[in-house]
Structure 1
Amino acid sequence: MASRPIRLLLVGAHPADTFDQAGGTLAHHVAQGDQVTVVSVTTGVRSHDWELIDEKDRGGRRLDVEQRVRAEREKKLVELKKACEILGIEDVRTLDFDDDQELLREELVAAVAEVIREIRPDVVITHHPYEDWGLKLHATVGRATMFAYRKAATAGRGNALPPHRVPAIYFMNPTAYVGVTLSNAFAARIDLYVDISDVIDRKVKAMDCISSQYYGGSYARKRAEAADGHYGANAQVPYAEAFQRYWQWVTYTLPVSDFEIKRMEEPIEESMNRQGIMTAAYIPLPEGAVPASYEIEKELYDI
């Protein structure tokens, strides 16, 4: 591990992407004194303000979307900052690109490179460049960040900040959506889990802040159990976040943690008990939130 506090930069496509796949990990780094900056490339208003999309669906042409977009932008940023505050993250930014422009473009690469030169991170976290075949904004932002780290290491144009070379890059939740793109699985793998069991309550409460996407309440708790709990089961802990390194480890000796040794020496019962811990499901719902309910309508499945 580094002998000094490190600087981390997370580049996400939409506001919630800055913490919903790596927020527990970032909370750990904040707690140990590292500098954390999160950047949302877009404000997510056009594609990830599901309240607005539902409203447009009901209102049709009568709804002035552009006027609402301006107002909802501020709401999305307030949600983001409130969520990050719960995790201890203070440096929260947006590049303010429109989220309905999903193609890779030079101005996006340049904007991310400028942030890299400014922050001078030791670690960059972003989306896998080929998430879901690369046909979504997450993947575009992942690719833009990979081009940007190279661009940031060059002399640059005009009065660019001094170049910076990034020591480590991680892709968060690298196998996201790979279930529907199995032929691309060779490009995505998980080679690191971070145990976030001690901060899962804060991550759930951060998710509660994203009301524009209906993340709060029952969904935040179910998602924590289904996603972070799934990765936790793979790592034999209650909750975990998954990452893929871009570059290989370079060490003086072969690394193995005390936990990895303990995991193999302990009784199987102890491991199973640890994996069975459920915390997120029992975190109290936000005030006024109604528990989710669902009843199967079998006739809807008739073909």
Structure 2
Amino acid sequence: MTVYAHPADTITNCGGTLARHADAGDEIVALILTHGGRIHANRYAEEWRKDNPDEAIAAAGLDDIVEFKKAELRRAADIVGISRVVTLDHDDSSAALQDSLVDEVAAQIAAERPDVIICDYPQNPVVAGNTHTVATTTALAALGRAGTYLRNLDGQSEYHVKQVFLTSLPVYPVDGLSLFGVRNDVFVDITPVVGRKIAAMDCFDSQGYSGLFARKLIESANGEAGRAAGVNFAEGYYRLYNETHGTLPVTPAAMEVDPLTRHVSYSRIDLRREYPV
């Protein structure tokens, strides 16, 4: 399950990872907390800048804008392989943790019973105007609430997810010492599905995410994460919970990588040539 503030966030942050899980047969539920009508409303703001704006676009109300964005998300979800999209449709100017919304998210978590939750790495919670941070603090509070359900009182049993992966931590160094351990500690190689992530981002035309921006974002953000991971394109994560193993874990990627030549192998894809606008 992904828990994000706005319609496009699931795709931009972890669309490649979701595509790989979909290909592996996993069920994916995308939970979107707000309607996203005001965020990145390029299609409508830019129309007003024209000398002769299209009346149908310029006069669009909130319901029209929201439905247009939901249609974009549905198309993107189909491309990536998201099984189900759940939209709670709260206002996207929310700036504080709300008990009622925590209850809604907790109920969704308890109903879906996901093994994994993916959401944004939260900024300092005093940055109250950042709806991404509000969304994540809501999700974390909901996890705690779902973990205290009692069937006698709530009609359903407690539920605990196995792991939470936080996206968008803007730190990519490849060792655990340079920033005293704060870094993305898990990378998912999205190179095999990068074309699908581009196609999914191209669906969000109303936000100006289609075309050049989609390719620039993936080249820069996923390309830099790929450099740290030793692959062409990757998505980085920070694990909320520690992990327990029977022996010290070493990944297949770590066993197979050639440190001498990986900088050549992870530089082989010309994204804009292979996926032109």
Q: In which range does the TM-score fall when normalised by the shorter chain?
A: 0.7 to 0.9
Matched with 2:175 is: none
The counterpart of 2:205, out of the listed 182, 204, 211, is: 211
The counterpart of 1:169, out of the listed 164, 189, 192, is: 164
Q: Secondary structure of the equivalent of 2:159?
A: coil
Q: Secondary structure of the equivalent of 1:95?
A: strand
Matching residue's letter, 1:213: Q
Matched with 2:238 is: 244
Structure 2: distance between partners of 1:267 and 1:175:
24
Matching residue's letter, 2:266: Q
Q: CA deviation at 1:283?
A: 3.7
Matching residue's letter, 2:213: Y
- On the 8 A contact 2:110/2:159 being kept in 1, the answer is yes
Matched with 1:105 is: 98
Q: Secondary structure of the equivalent of 2:164?
A: strand
Deviations 1:163-205 (A, max 9, x none): 21111111012228x9xxxxxx889631111111000000000
Structure 2: give runs of 5+ residues left out of the alignment: 173-178
Structure 1: distance between partners of 2:89 and 2:59:
15
Q: CA deviation at 1:210?
A: 0.1
Structure 2: distance between partners of 1:206 and 1:63:
25
Structure 1 window deviating more from structure 2 (85-94 vs 154-163): it is 154-163
Matched with 1:230 is: 224
Matching residue's letter, 1:11: V
- On the 8 A contact 1:114/1:161 being kept in 2, the answer is no
Matched with 2:119 is: 126
The counterpart of 1:276, out of the listed 243, 253, 267, is: 267
- On the 8 A contact 1:10/1:37 being kept in 2, the answer is yes
- On the 8 A contact 2:38/2:92 being kept in 1, the answer is yes
Structure 2: distance between partners of 1:104 and 1:92:
23
Deviations 1:127-162 (A, max 9, x none): 112269644000111111000001011126965433
Matching residue's letter, 1:26: L
Alignment of 1:41-120 (within 5 A): 41-55=33-47, 68-120=61-113
Structure 2: distance between partners of 1:238 and 1:34:
24
Structure 1: distance between partners of 2:15 and 2:74:
13
Q: CA deviation at 1:224?
A: 0.8
TM-score, normalising length: structure 1? 0.80
The counterpart of 2:18, out of the listed 7, 11, 26, is: 26
Deviations 1:194-239 (A, max 9, x none): 1110000000000000001111111111111011001001111100
Q: CA deviation at 1:262?
A: 2.2
Structure 1 window deviating more from structure 2 (206-215 vs 159-168): it is 159-168
Q: Which has the higher contact order (CA 8 A, sep 6+)?
A: 2
Q: State the identity as a percent.
A: 32
Q: Aligned in 2, Cα 1:57/1:105: closer, same or farther, shift over 3 Å?
A: farther
Aligned alpha-carbon RMSD (Å)? 2.7
TM-score, normalising length: structure 2? 0.87
Structure 1 window deviating more from structure 2 (208-217 vs 164-173): it is 164-173
Higher share of residues assigned helix: 1
Q: Aligned in 2, Cα 1:106/1:171: closer, same or farther, shift over 3 Å?
A: same
